[in-house]
Structure 1
Amino acid sequence: MKLNLTDQRQKARLKTVSSVVLFTIIIAILCFQFSLLNNATPNNLNQLEDDDGNKIIFIGIFSTADRFYRRNLIRSTYLNLEAPKVMYKFVLGKPATNKQQLLLKFEQEKFNDLFILDIEENMDNGKTFNYFKTLYNAYHPHQFKFVMKADDDTFLHFPNLEKKFLSLPEYDVYFGRKVEHINGNGGGFIAGMGYALSWNLVEFIATKVENNPKQEIIGQEDFLVTTWLNNGKIYYKMISEVNEFYDSPESKKGWSKNYSPGTMLIHQLKDNEWFLNAC
């Protein structure tokens, strides 16, 4: 049966309306995603407000935008160990793509544990310096007793770390595991797998290093921390933990040893199975 002219017009009108509705929905979705991308700036992602004065130890776990699986593995394991004096954040550089930016936006809304630096992602091109500087500017005048930097291929036993930190002096402490200079002339530096500084040393790095032409912020990050303090003629006490900061037993190299009850940090856990064994 042939459609009359009225039926044909109604059919055409319905087809047009359907197309307009579909087009409107698509535009709305795109606009929504675009608004999320515009709002997913580093400053918005950080959400730095914190009113809990009991948090006197800040631990920044260095990660990158694409390592969502490792962050979730950490959230599901050692972050469940209770340490009431400890605050932690995952420290990342700026996302490299719009997709990463959007995913970080959703991740932050879900977990609120990302600390996004306003720099390109890197390891030895200033990320550590910008971590200390951004942290100081974000939380000052609140003073943590210690600020720690750790890698995301480490297991951190928060309760044991908390107990250790609370036993240390409040000022001038540079804590971790010491690497001796190869030439054996003394000095050395604390290995980058994990180290902590008293707040007064963080303040020095954040406020003095960048303005001193003799100081470099690009280079091997763990070695640079010692260099900043030495060049600034800042007094500090280097405290080395040789028993409870160690490498994974599975790695069988470096500072590898068997697990111990007082463990504070285990390094070389890039393999997920090794990481879970440590946990």
Structure 2
Amino acid sequence: MEIKLRFFQSPKFSLQKVSTAAFLVLLPISLMALIFFVVYPGDIRLQSLSAPPSNCLPSSLANVSSSEADLRILLGVLTVAEAYQRRDLIRRAYLLQQPLLSASRVDVRFILCRLTTEEQRTFVAMEIMLYGDVIILDCAENVNEGKTYDYLSSLPRILDAGGRWPPYDYVVKTDDDTYYLIDKLSETLRGLPRVDVYLGMRVPCWSTGSESGFMSGMGYALSWDLVEWVAASEVARQKRLGPEDIMVGVWLNEGGRGKNRINMMPRMYDYPGGPETCFRHGFIPDSVAVHKLKDNLKWAKTLQYFNVTRRLKKSKLYFID
């Protein structure tokens, strides 16, 4: 306040004097900042890296907006609330695939049933605040007692299409022990009709019938019209209990739906180990999905095979042999 009073009351005030004084004060400060930047550039860079980002991870794998995407896929990962570490691993594994996508939009969502403990309510709420990638259904947690039905049948009601309908061209149901090669999945789905499509690894894998059997629960894709049909189907509602992958096949078989059945064998398969079969064999470069990644080591070996860390830049900050 004293400076302001003197500024207006002094008849001999000179802007030139103020400019000169300011220059004399700022000059040494500027020189010190320049010297620090030249001598300690790494410290400045490290401080900028340590600042928390406003949004740690995107809730979708997309280089384009939903309205610009020529293909929109919802990848629903059925999991349980306590699998915090597994969800974190899956988020990172899929986020690293983002540069491989061009005109596709893939939204990865973790599908849970009702939370039952204080720990779950707190930790899952934190995940939602940070990532926005969790869907919590109004059901008791289960595997074969209707969770897949609740997931598929709820989507037309709960999804916001943002002015564009349908919100997705395809919906995928998968589990947290399956790893998808998102670019390969997108390339495959882009060439399909997008109507009455049921894609996955056919079971039994030696079946040749075009409208029989079912797709393995490791992961399967339904075109959006089939998702809407499931939501309205009395067949699906009455037969929602039982092995979920078998029951989806039953719905479609009895309803005369899913006539465009795409068998992705051998590009979808179980993790290598034991005698090779039609559903279990070694890694192949053109894979779409690998199943039965039951522990971190199997995830690591799978991610290593597909060279997920190939874009890791060299740095003095770390040494990875």
Deviation at 1:183, TM superposition (A): 10
Match of 1:169 in 2: 193
Shift of 1:85: 2.1
Residue type at the aligned position of 2:216: A
* Contact 2:82–2:120 (Cα < 8 Å) also in 1: yes
Q: Does 1:66 align with 2:89?
A: no
Give the TM-score normalised by structure 1: 0.75
- Offset of residue 52 of structure 1: 2.5
- 8 Å contact from structure 2 (residues 207, 213) kept in 1: no
Q: How does 1:1-279 map to 2 (within 5 A)?
A: 52-53=66-67, 54=69, 56-82=72-98, 83=101, 84-139=104-159, 141-180=165-204, 187-209=212-234, 215-234=238-257, 236-250=259-273, 252=275, 255-279=279-303
Give distance in 1, aligned partners of 2:258 and 2:84. 39
1:150 deviation in Å? 0.7
Q: Which moved more, 1:220-229 or 1:133-142?
A: 133-142
> TM-score, structure 2 length as denominator?
0.66
Q: For the residues of structure 2 that align with 1:177 and 1:104, how far apart are their CA atoms?
A: 32
Q: Distance in 2 between matches of 1:198 and 1:182?
A: 24
Bigger radius of gyration among the two: 2
Q: Compute the displacement of 1:87 (Å).
A: 1.3
**Mean Cα deviation higher: 51-60 or 112-121:** 51-60
- Within 1, Cα distance between the matches of 2:272 and 2:145? 31
RMSD value, Cα: 2.4
Deviation string 1:65-101 (CA, Å, 9 cap, x unpaired) is: 0000001111222332023421110111111212211
Letter in 2 for 1:76: R
Aligned letter for 2:186? Answer: E
The secondary structure found in structure 2 opposite 1:131 is helix
RCO greater where, 1 or 2, for CA within 8 Å and sep 6 or more? 1
Cα separation, partners in 2 of 1:242 and 1:184, compared to 1, 3 Å:
closer
**CA displacement at 1:106 relative to structure 2:** 0.8
Distance apart, 1:231 and its partner CA: 2.1
Counterpart residue type for residue 237 of structure 1: N
User: Could you tell me the percent identity over the aligned residues?
Assistant: 32
Instruction: Quickly say closer, same or farther: Cα 1:181–1:253, change in 2 above 3 A.
Output: closer
The 3 A distance-change label for structure 1 pair 107 and 236 is same
Distance in 2 separating the partners of 1:276 and 1:145: 31
**Aligned residue pairs, count:** 228
Residue range with higher mean Cα deviation, 175-184 or 95-104: 175-184
Unaligned runs of 5+ in 2: 1-58, 60-64, 304-321
Tell me, which stretches of 5 or more residues in structure 1 are unaligned?
Answer: 1-46
Task: State the 1:103 CA deviation.
Answer: 1.0
Residues 183, 161 of structure 1: CA spacing in aligned structure 2 closer, same or farther, 3 A cutoff? closer
Q: Distance in 2 between matches of 1:193 and 1:152?
A: 9
Asked if the contact 1:60–1:89 (Cα under 8 Å) also holds between the matched residues in 2, the reply is yes
